C-alpha cells in the first residue's frame, strides 16, 4: 500500500519555487528631466571652460590674481576718488530708492494680493492676476527699468517705476499665498454671519497674516536694495551703485571698491538688525 502511494505521489511534479520579482521603482518623468537638465548644464559648463578663448591668459594664474585682488580690496579699503561723507550720502540715496519702491509695491500688492487669494476672492480673478504677475516676475528688474526708460529716460524715475513694477509682481504672489494659508473655517463663519468682504479682510485676513506680510515686505526691501545698487550703474539712477561702477570701470581702483563694499555691508547689517527688532515687536 505504501509503495503504491509513493508511486502515485511521484507522478505529480514538484511545485516550482516561487520567484520573487525585484521591486522596480516607478519611472518619474519630472525627476528624469531634472537629472538630464543638470547633466546637460554640467556638460555645457565643462565644454565652455575647455573651448573658451582665453587669449593667452593662464586660467590658474587668473584665479590667483582674482583672489589677490579680493584680498587687497577687503584688507586695504579706502576712498580715493570720493570722500567718505559722499559715499555715506550715496548709500542713503540707494536705500531711499529701495524703500520708496518697496512702499509703493507693498501698497499696490496688498489690494491685488487679496484679489489673487482663492479663499478671499473670485477664483476667476485669482487665475488671471496670478498669470499676469507670473509674467511680470519672469522679466528681470533691469529689463523693466530699461523698458520704462524709453518714455521716462534713463535716471531715477525709470528706476523707481521699473523696480516698483517688479516689486508688485513679487509681493502679489507672496501676499496672496499668505492669505491662502488662513483657515477657511473662519472666513466661512464670518460669511454665514453676514460679514461683508471688507469686514472679512480687515477683521480676519489682514490681522492673521500681518507677520507674514511684514516678513515678505522686508525680504523684498533687501532685494530692492541690491537692485537699486545695480540700477545706479545700469540705468544712471545715482546712489552708491554709480560710484562703484565708476571705481571699477573708469578708475580701476580696487581699494575704493573695497571701501564701498564694506560700507554697503555695514548698512546691510544695520537694516537687518532694525528689521528683526520691528518684526519681534509686531509679534
pLDDT average, residue stretch 97-115: 92
pLDDT computed for residue 202 by the predictor? 85
What band does 112 get if pLDDT is binned at 50, 70 and 90? very high
For cell 468682504, what's the residue? 197
Counted domains in the chain: 1
**pLDDT for residue 246 is more than 70:** yes
Does residue 11 sit within a domain?
no
Identify whether the C-beta of residue 73 lies closer than 8 Å to the C-beta of residue 261.
yes
Give Cα 153 distance to the centre of its chain.
27
Cα–Cα dist 19/271, whole Å: 66
**Domain, as residue range, for 134:** 82-282
- The string of pLDDT tens digits covering residues 143-194 is 888 888 888 777 788 888 889 989 999 999 999 988 888 877 888 888 888 7
Average pLDDT over residues 61-78: 84
- 270 located within any domain: yes
Residue 137 falls inside a structural domain: yes
**Beta-carbon-side half-sphere exposure of residue 82 (alpha carbons within 13 Å):** 25
> 229 and 264 in contact (C-beta within 8 Å)?
yes
Element (H, E) at 47: helix 29-51
Per-residue pLDDT for 282 more than 70?
A: no
Residue 160 included in any domain: yes
Q: What would the pLDDT profile of 6-22 be if each residue is shown by its tens digit? A: 555 455 455 555 555 55
Any domain includes 48: no
Task: Identify whether 96 is part of a domain.
Answer: yes
Residue 120 maps to which CATH number?
Answer: 1.10.3720.10
Is residue 243 assigned to a domain? yes
Give the residue among 102, 97, 136, 91 at the shortest CA–CA distance from 221: 102
265 domain residue, yes or no: yes
Amino acid at each position: 500500500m505504501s509503495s503504491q502511494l509513493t508511486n502515485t505521489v511521484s507522478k505529480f511534479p514538484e511545485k516550482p519555487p516561487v520567484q520573487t520579482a525585484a521591486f522596480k521603482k516607478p519611472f518619474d518623468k519630472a525627476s528624469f528631466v531634472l537629472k538630464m537638465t543638470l547633466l546637460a548644464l554640467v556638460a555645457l559648463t565643462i565644454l565652455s571652460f575647455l573651448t573658451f578663448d582665453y587669449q593667452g591668459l593662464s586660467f590658474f594664474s587668473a584665479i590667483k590674481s582674482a583672489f589677490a585682488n579680493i584680498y587687497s580690496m577687503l584688507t586695504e579699503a579706502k576712498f580715493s576718488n570720493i570722500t567718505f561723507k559722499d559715499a555715506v550720502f550715496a548709500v542713503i540715496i540707494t536705500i531711499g530708492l529701495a524703500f520708496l519702491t518697496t512702499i509703493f509695491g507693498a501698497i499696490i500688492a496688498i489690494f491685488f494680493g487679496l484679489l489673487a487669494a482663492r479663499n478671499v476672492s473670485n477664483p476667476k480673478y485669482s487665475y488671471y492676476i496670478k498669470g499676469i504677475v507670473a509674467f511680470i516676475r519672469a522679466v528681470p528688474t533691469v529689463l523693466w527699468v530699461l523698458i520704462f526708460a524709453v518714455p521716462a529716460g534713463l535716471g531715477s524715475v525709470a528706476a523707481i517705476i521699473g523696480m516698483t513694477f517688479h516689486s508688485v509682481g513679487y509681493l502679489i504672489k507672496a501676499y496672496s499665498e499668505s492669505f491662502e494659508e488662513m483657515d477657511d473655517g473662519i472666513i466661512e463663519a464670518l460669511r454665514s454671519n453676514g460679514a461683508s468682504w471688507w469686514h472679512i479682510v480687515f477683521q480676519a485676513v489682514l490681522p492673521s497674516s500681518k507677520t507674514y506680510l511684514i516678513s515678505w515686505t522686508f525680504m523684498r526691501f533687501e532685494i530692492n536694495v541690491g537692485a537699486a545698487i545695480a540700477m545706479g550703474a545700469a540705468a544712471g539712477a545715482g546712489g552708491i551703485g554709480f560710484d562703484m561702477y565708476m571705481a571699477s570701470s573708469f578708475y580701476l581702483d580696487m581699494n575704493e571698491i573695497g571701501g564701498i563694499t564694506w560700507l554697503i555691508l555695514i548698512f546691510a547689517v544695520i537694516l537687518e538688525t532694525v528689521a528683526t527688532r520691528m518684526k519681534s515687536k509686531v509679534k
